Amino acid sequence: MLGYLLIAVAVFVLDQWSKAEAVRYLSRGSVHVTSFLNLVLVYNRGAAFGFLSNASGWQNILFIAVAVAIVAGIVIFLVRGGRRDRLTVVALMLVLGGAAGNLADRIRLGEVVDFIDFHIGSWHWYTFNLADSAITVGAVLLVIDAWVSRRATAAPERR
């Protein structure tokens, strides 16, 4: 199980490093990478998709509490012997590392550093970071795992 923890640690370290580099290099302006990708420095006081970003500041306490609950919940689940199949653990480690990365920003800065800007023409997706990507991939893997597990347990009943 400890070997899997390296996934969460790697996500956290890469996320924090990439954000530090974004602050260092993008404070002078955005960088056009491809026809669909820019690097641009954004400080996000909200959650995913800018949710509550315009609130008066109370949201940071809420988001810190939610992130702490997620991190604690994952750790408790794994320590108490929750499902240990590879896909579940990898997914949880991605979520854990990403949640810890954004939590560190919220505690240290009161907001999250975002810098990846995908776009198609003039339409731009919300700016995000590596932690957000890890959380999203982890969540998708958890949904896939739940779907596969449900089908596997339902299959014998159909016979």
- The Cα 50–Cα 20 span in angstroms is 21
Is 145 an active-site residue? no
**Is 117 a catalytic site residue?**
no
Q: How far is residue 60's CA from residue 112's CA, in Å, rounded to a whole number?
A: 10
Whether the CB-CB separation of 75 and 92 falls below 8 Å is answered with no
**Max Cα distance, the chain (Å):** 64
Sign of the dihedral defined by the CA atoms of residues 79, 83, 88, 90, in that order? positive
Which among 15, 114, 117, 145 is annotated as catalytic? 114
Starting at the edge strand found earlier in the chain, the sheet holding 37-44 runs 31-34, 37-44, 112-120, 123-124
Q: Which of 15, 105, 117, 132 is catalytic?
A: 132
Q: Which residues are catalytic?
A: 114, 132
